[in-house]
Amino acid sequence: MPHHPHRDHPRHDHSHRDHPRHDHPRYDVAVIGYGPTGVTAANLLGQAGLRVVVLERDPDIYGRARAISTDEEVLRIWQRVGLDERLQADMLPGGLVAFVDADGRPFVEVAPTSRGTGHPPQQFIYQPAVDTTLRAGVERFPTVTVLTRHECLKVLPGPDDVEILAADLDSDTFVRLHASYVIAADGGSSATRGQLGIGYQGETYTERWVVIDTEATCDWEGSSRLRFHCDPARPTVDCPTPLGHHRWEFPVRDGEDETELVQHEAIWRVLAGQGVTPDHVKILRAVVYSHHVRVADRWRVGRVFLAGDAAHAMPPWIGQGMASGVRDVANLCWKLAAVIEGSLPASILDSYQIEREPHLRETTAHAVFVGKLITERRPWVAAARDHLVRLASRSSRFGRWIIDAKWIPQAQYARGLLTGVAHPARGWQLPQPRVTDASGEIVRFDDVLDGRWQLLTTDPSVSHHLWRSTGIGVITILPAGSAVQPDSVVDHTGALTAWLHRHSASALAVRPDGFVYAAAESGRSLPAPPIGLHLPDPIENSPAAPIEGHH
């Protein structure tokens, strides 16, 4: 079974035909904004071999760490572009998450558990390091052009492409270009969203928060774990971050001066309450910001798509703001590639918001719940909370409930680019165990799937004749102890077989993002493929060059 870790062969972009205008640069996709969402999109699109331009107003990576954690599903996305191992070298695996009372005593401690993705369930990050590695990844792709110090002024969606007007801030000149599609990942204050007249509904909390980033010079008690100090007088988030950094966040109380709170004297008063002194940390910076809960009315206007903070904003309590943007473009980019190469019709792009918005809203609701738990200001309510939760946490079921019901929800699509035939496996993402491939090598399962449509089967009685004309590959999943065979994998851990059994599936049609399009039991036929699906012949290419070095 061939493995195609990097496919940068030319694509046939039918949308470029018969255009009268050839005086401006033309691209398949323009990405506006080069934060984590935009740079992930550039990697995914570059790996697909698309012609991409990135427009970014700032000259370099934003120096202040904003996001401080990520999760296993996001690392799995970065695995697709070959950057997960390099990124994790600069990350700190998360452990117990402690909610502590006003006296610093935990009233509940929980630990996220793996969902079988092949990555740690939670990782603390230092965002400038993450951004640096992701941008280095983009440099592998000659079809991606990155224009920093270029501010997008206007997007003009047309029936066949999008005209973009940008300002080159170094030369004080205007630049015009054209793209078949645009991904606007230009942040919560997205100028693109405003220009398109898209509403951004929700609320901004009146309470402002101080964020303190420090460089840790030595350890102290509790310095290695995430703690939510649920003190009514001063709720505080206390979080380790990698590469020798540590962060605190706390709200501005009524009557306090924001300007004073970011001065070192005031910061040391707050840190002293945590038992932290200048012997432990060096203050790097302190800023004040607001929490938002907002969702754009529409995530698409014609050929322009919103992603990340441009489409939605949530409070930081479960660390899913950046992660949600990465999930957005992971859902969108393979669909854009399929439309541009002609393997699926453009109508599939309507599934982007349909699929992503429910999970985004559920994740936001979880973040709001955790925030309310942390920031309760009424002492009598906080005391009751501490007592009742401490009692409940003696049961392992309670800790499991917190993680399953109120932490990061697992994505599952109920509607979208899925068969209309209901099945327990439809819309779920497969786990990623290690398997033995046809050559006898032990590999990660996603490396076998290779970001392409695949049929998986454990039972040859399941008919898939409706899929034969699409060019889709078929992989047989063999049980542990089986001899390797062509076009098969051996499930030597039993994880895939167990997942299929739980979901009553003997055959699956899996999308390029690892989500199940359709499934069937033994003796049944797989539902029909999406209308218009026709896959090009796979082309063998060399792997993308690894990213070397450490920050």
**What pLDDT shows up at residue 538?**
56
The token pair that represents 337 in the structure block: 């590639």
Q: Are residues 114 and 21 in the same domain?
A: yes
What's the per-residue H, E or C state across 413-433?
CCCCCCCCCCCCCCCEECCCC
Q: What is the CATH number of the domain that holds 304?
A: 3.50.50.60
Q: Are residues 80 and 148 in the same domain?
A: yes
**Final residue belonging to a domain, choices 406, 434, 452:** 406
Q: Are residues 428 and 399 in the same domain?
A: no
Whose tokens are 């290419």? That residue is 541
Q: Are residues 402 and 422 in the same domain?
A: no
Q: What type of residue is 263? A: Q
Query: What does the mean pLDDT of the chain come to?
Result: 91
> Which segments within 76-149 are labelled E, that is strand?
92-93, 97-100, 106-110, 122-124, 144-148
CB 424 within 8 A of CB 505: yes
Neighbours of 69 (CB within 10 A): 24
Q: Are residues 389 and 433 in the same domain?
A: no
CA 479 to chain CA centroid, Å, is 32
Specify the 3-state DSSP secondary structure of 350. Answer: helix
Whose tokens are 């969203």? That residue is 193
Domain contains 132: yes
Look up the pTM and report it. 0.92
Specify the 3-state DSSP secondary structure of 528. Answer: coil
Q: Are residues 512 and 491 in the same domain?
A: yes
Q: Are residues 101 and 182 in the same domain?
A: yes
Domain contains 248: no
**What pLDDT shows up at residue 62?**
79
Q: Are residues 172 and 304 in the same domain?
A: yes
Residues of the chain with pLDDT under 70: 1-23, 63-65, 537-551
Q: Are residues 378 and 503 in the same domain?
A: no
**DSSP states along 58-109:** SSS---S----EEEHHHHHHHHHTT-HHHHHTT-EE---EEEE-TTS-EEEE
When divided into structural domains, the chain yields a total of 2
**Final residue belonging to a domain, choices 406, 427, 453:** 406
**What pLDDT shows up at residue 65?**
62
**What pLDDT shows up at residue 546?**
57
**What pLDDT shows up at residue 447?**
96
> Nearest 5°: phi and psi at 532?
90, -5
Q: What type of residue is 241? A: T
Query: Is the four-CA dihedral 139, 144, 150, 154 of positive or negative sign?
Result: negative
Domain contains 231: no
Q: What is the CATH number of the domain that holds 492?
A: 3.40.30
**What pLDDT shows up at residue 23?**
63
CA distance 35 to 33: 6
Domain contains 150: yes
The token pair that represents 40 in the structure block: 């992930």
CB 128 within 8 A of CB 65: yes
Domain contains 218: no
Tally the C-alpha atoms within 13 A of residue 24's C-alpha that lie toward its C-beta: 17
CA dihedral 10, 16, 20, 21 (to 10 degrees): -70
Tally the C-alpha atoms within 13 A of residue 510's C-alpha that lie toward its C-beta: 27
Burial category of 505 from C-beta neighbours within 10 Å (exposed 0-12, middle 13-18, buried 19 and up)? buried
**What pLDDT shows up at residue 228?**
94
Q: Are residues 383 and 507 in the same domain?
A: no
Residues contacting 194, CB < 8 A, separation 6+: none
Q: Are residues 148 and 175 in the same domain?
A: yes
- In angstroms, the Cα distances linking 269 to 60, 249, 274, 282 are 34, 14, 9, 14
**Final residue belonging to a domain, choices 406, 426, 442:** 406
- Axis crossing angle, helix 36-47 with helix 127-138, rounded to the nearest 10: 30
Closest CA to 527 of 517, 542, 536: 517
- The domain in which residue 532 lies consists of 418-543
CB 39 within 8 A of CB 58: no
Q: Are residues 500 and 530 in the same domain?
A: yes
Residues contacting 20, CB < 8 A, separation 6+: none
Domain contains 411: no
Specify the 3-state DSSP secondary structure of 330. Answer: helix
Domain contains 300: yes
Domain contains 357: yes
CA distance 416 to 422: 13
Whose tokens are 């995530």? That residue is 299
**What pLDDT shows up at residue 96?**
83
